[in-house]
């Protein structure tokens, strides 16, 4: 008998090391089982089929419809709780599954590239082309899997969970709103003095921000971060006119300078001091003038409340631009979960919305909610249907799960809270007749936009690329998800009924 260091007797061949080896081998043997259990589909929610079908159908409805119908939907708290548990589990399973898929694709890609490197001098043209095609396809699949795991799937589930919460809580919230309306208490909410827009104190000293804004614009241009402007007078003038109209009915006290940038990104942003930038992609995405006015009013609210100034206090512009540059580099090198690579491969551009510092844009969870509230007030005050903001948000969250560049989604105040707060504010606004949703000028802008988009498309098609597709490859594989066309159930292997 041997003795261990602690003086305990030990049988020969049973040292602590051998126990450790045994444990490790057991773990290794169990690994496939653990992996298989991880990849199993989520068990169906314990709900009667008709309830599951009705709930799934309700969760696909737009927010505005749900606000109206929530009180009439008869789901029990237990059913809602079961659905929530199921959705949360499904989200985590689905994300894990796509991360694993992305890792596997990465390994396949490395293997193919290693083979290319090893045989490059001896490859026949057809062998080389075959390998190029394989690498090209793997790159695309990898970026798609990354985007699904890190962006599309989480956003899609968050949207579902927010709608579930709305079904559960909105009837109660609505009652409270009605009580507040009846008692007149709603006037005491923060920024409840909507009849005094333009005369109340929202952000004192806005003019001090002009210099910061100018400097930021200059530095962004110097750093080459600013996309080119849209060279179309009709579009520039239309957006400028709309923005000034909303600004005139807001608490913004500085001159507003508006520029439409020629970038596919669905985004608009405001720099301190009244510098508003609207990207072409946003104009393509909005369906009516009320939606566009809602987004622009939200950005004007950041200017009015001086959110940028308040967040930038401890930073210099140079450091923020440097952060932007660093982030740009991370995106360009695939550091941000390859979203940049995805954009680059899919669209040939890297979103400015991913690059700009949130501090610079005055975006934080708290400030986003404030900008939502003020923006809704400004759009309403300018005569626009304030629900346009909710409709656009819904469209973005439901159909454009990929588009995470937009600053609205980056800070992530919970969707439910954002939607409920927006609806609450709309309910408190004094009724107004003839709220504008659509105009002829908007339609004309859209027609002009078609020309600009066609030109941009032409230029994009002529854009040279070092990672240009290998000619003559079979059509690339695509992962089974396209926002707006296929539901997340397909991607996550979830039952629909």
Partner 1 sequence: MRHAHVLRFFWAAWLLAVAQPALAGPREVTLYFTVEKDGTLIGGLTEDNFRLYEDGEPRKFRLETPETPAAIALLVEYSQASWLYMEDIYRAMEGFMHQAPEGHWYALATFSKDLEIRVDFTKQRGRIANAFADLPRPFWNEINTYDAVYEMLERMGQLRGRRILIVIGSGLDTFSSMRLEDVRRKAEAVNVVVYAVGVGSLLRTVYEPYLSQPARMDLLQAEAFFQMLAQKTGGQAWFPRFEAAFRDVMRGVMQSIAFHYKLVYESNLPEDGKFHRIRLEAFRFEGDRKTTFTVRVREGWRTG
Q: What are the residues binding partner 1 (CB under 8 A)?
A: 117, 120-121, 222-228, 325-326, 328-330, 332-333, 344, 348-350, 463-468, 471
Q: How far is the CB of 411 from partner 1 (least distance, A)?
A: 23
Instruction: Work out how close the CB of 325 gets to partner 1 at its nearest, in angstroms, rounded to a whole number.
Output: 4
Minimum separation from the CB atom of position 104 to partner 1 (A): 22
336 in helix, strand or coil? coil
CB 438 within 8 A of CB 289: yes
> How near is the Cβ of 68 to partner 1 at its closest, in Å?
45
Least Å distance between CB 341 and partner 1?
10
For tokens 């060279």, the residue is: 231
Question: Dihedral sign, CA of 118, 120, 123, 127?
Answer: positive
Judge whether 452 and 262 are in contact, CB under 8 Å: yes
Secondary structure (DSSP) of 388-404: HHHHHHHHHHHH-TT--
Of 111 and 176, which CB lies nearer to partner 1 in the complex structure? 111
| C-beta of 468 vs 475, nearer to partner 1 | 468
Locate 64 and state its tokens: 């505005």
Least distance from partner 1 to the Cβ atom of residue 336, Å: 12
For partner 1, the closer of residues 466 and 475 by Cβ is 466
CB of 143 to partner 1, least distance (A): 13
Tell which phi-psi region holds residue 350, choosing left (phi > 0), alpha (psi between -120 and 50) or beta.
beta
Residue 133 or 300: the one with the smaller Cβ distance to partner 1 is 133
The helices-and-strands tally (H runs, E runs) of the chain is 20, 5
Pairing of strands 9-10, 2-3: antiparallel
Q: How far is the CB of 224 from partner 1 (least distance, A)?
A: 2
Please classify residue 443 by burial: count the beta carbons closer than 10 Å to its beta carbon, then call 0-12 exposed, 13-18 middle and 19+ buried.
exposed
Q: Which is nearer to partner 1, 177 or 325 (CB)?
A: 325
Q: How far apart are CA 44 and CA 497, in angstroms?
A: 9
Nearest distance from residue 127's CB to partner 1, in Å? 15
Q: Are 104 and 76 in contact (CB under 8 A)?
A: no
- Tell me whether residue 113 or residue 439 sits nearer to partner 1 (CB atom): 113
Cα–Cα distances in Å, from 349 out to 85, 204, 343, 460, 467? 38, 38, 6, 10, 13
**DSSP one-letter code for 148:** I
Residue whose CB is less far from partner 1, 305 or 344: 344
Q: Measure the CA–CA gap between 458 and 140, rounded to whole angstroms.
A: 23
Which is it for strands 9-10 and 257-261: parallel, antiparallel or unpaired? unpaired
* DSSP label at residue 334: T
Least distance from C-beta 302 to partner 1, angstroms? 24
Please say whether the beta carbons of 42 and 89 come within 8 A.
yes
Residue closer to partner 1 by CB (options 7, 228) is 228
User: What angle do the packed helices 440-461 and 289-304 form, to 10 degrees?
Assistant: 80
Using the minimum distance from each CB to partner 1, give the nearer residue, 2 or 463.
463
Query: Smaller CB distance to partner 1: residue 117 or 190?
Result: 117
Task: For the CB of residue 271, give the shortest distance to partner 1 in the complex, in Å.
Answer: 17
The dihedral sign for the CA sequence 82, 83, 88, 90 = positive
Question: Given the complex with partner 1, which of 220 and 426 has the nearer CB atom?
Answer: 220
Query: In terms of CB distance, is 332 or 441 closer to partner 1?
Result: 332
How far lies 43's CA from each of 37, 59, 90, 414, in Å? Answer: 12, 19, 9, 26
CB of 162 to partner 1, least distance (A): 35
CA distances from 285 to 335, 354, 396, 432, 446 (A): 28, 18, 9, 27, 10
């Amino acid at each position: 008998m041997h003795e261990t260091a602690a003086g305990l007797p030990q049988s020969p061949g049973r040292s602590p090391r051998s126990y450790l080896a045994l444990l490790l081998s057991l773990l290794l043997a169990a690994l496939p089982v653990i992996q298989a259990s991880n990849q199993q589909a989520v068990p169906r929610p314990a709900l009667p089929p008709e309830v599951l079908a009705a709930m799934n159908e309700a969760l696909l409805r737009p927010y505005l419809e749900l606000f109206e119908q929530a009180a009439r939907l008869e789901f029990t708290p237990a059913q809602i709780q079961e659905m929530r548990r199921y959705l949360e589990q499904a989200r985590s399973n689905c994300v894990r599954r796509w991360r694993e898929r992305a890792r596997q694709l990465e390994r396949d890609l490395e293997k193919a590239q290693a083979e290319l490197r090893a045989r490059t001098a001896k490859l026949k043209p057809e062998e080389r082309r075959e390998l190029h095609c394989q690498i090209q396809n793997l790159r695309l699949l990898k970026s798609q899997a990354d985007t699904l795991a890190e962006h599309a799937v989480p956003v899609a589930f968050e949207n579902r969970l927010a709608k579930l919460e709305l079904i559960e809580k909105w009837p109660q919230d609505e009652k409270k709103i009605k009580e507040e309306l009846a008692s007149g208490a709603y006037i005491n909410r923060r920024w409840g003095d909507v009849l005094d827009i333009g005369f109340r104190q929202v952000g004192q000293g806005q003019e001090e921000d002009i210099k910061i804004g100018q400097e930021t614009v200059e530095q962004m241009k110097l750093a080459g971060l600013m996309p080119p402007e849209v060279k179309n007078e009709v579009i520039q003038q239309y957006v400028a006119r709309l923005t000034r109209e909303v600004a005139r009915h807001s608490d913004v006290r500085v001159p507003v300078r508006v520029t439409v940038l020629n970038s596919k990104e669905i985004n608009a942003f405001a720099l301190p001091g009244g510098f508003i930038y609207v990207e072409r992609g946003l104009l393509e995405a909005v369906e009516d003038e009320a939606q566009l006015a809602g987004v622009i009013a939200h950005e004007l609210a950041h200017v009015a409340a001086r959110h940028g100034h308040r967040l930038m206090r401890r930073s210099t512009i140079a450091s923020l631009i440097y952060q932007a540059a660093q982030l740009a580099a991370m995106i360009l090198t695939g550091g941000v979960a390859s979203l940049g690579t995805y954009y680059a491969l899919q669209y040939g551009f890297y979103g400015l919305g991913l690059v700009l510092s949130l501090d610079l844009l005055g975006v934080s969870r708290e400030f986003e909610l404030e900008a939502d509230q003020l923006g809704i007030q400004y759009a309403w005050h300018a005569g626009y249907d304030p629900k346009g903001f909710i409709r656009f948000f819904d469209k973005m969250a439901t159909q454009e799960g990929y588009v995470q560049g937009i600053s609205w989604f980056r800070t992530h105040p919970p969707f439910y809270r954002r939607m409920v707060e927006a609806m609450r504010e709309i309910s408190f606004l004094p009724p107004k007749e003839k709220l504008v949703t659509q105009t002829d000028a908007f339609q004309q802008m859209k027609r002009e936009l078609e020309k600009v988009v066609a030109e941009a498309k032409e230029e994009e098609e002529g854009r040279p690329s070092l990672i240009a597709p290998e000619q003559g490859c079979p059509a690339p594989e695509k992962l089974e998800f396209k926002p707006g066309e296929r539901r997340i159930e397909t991607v996550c292997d979830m039952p629909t009924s």
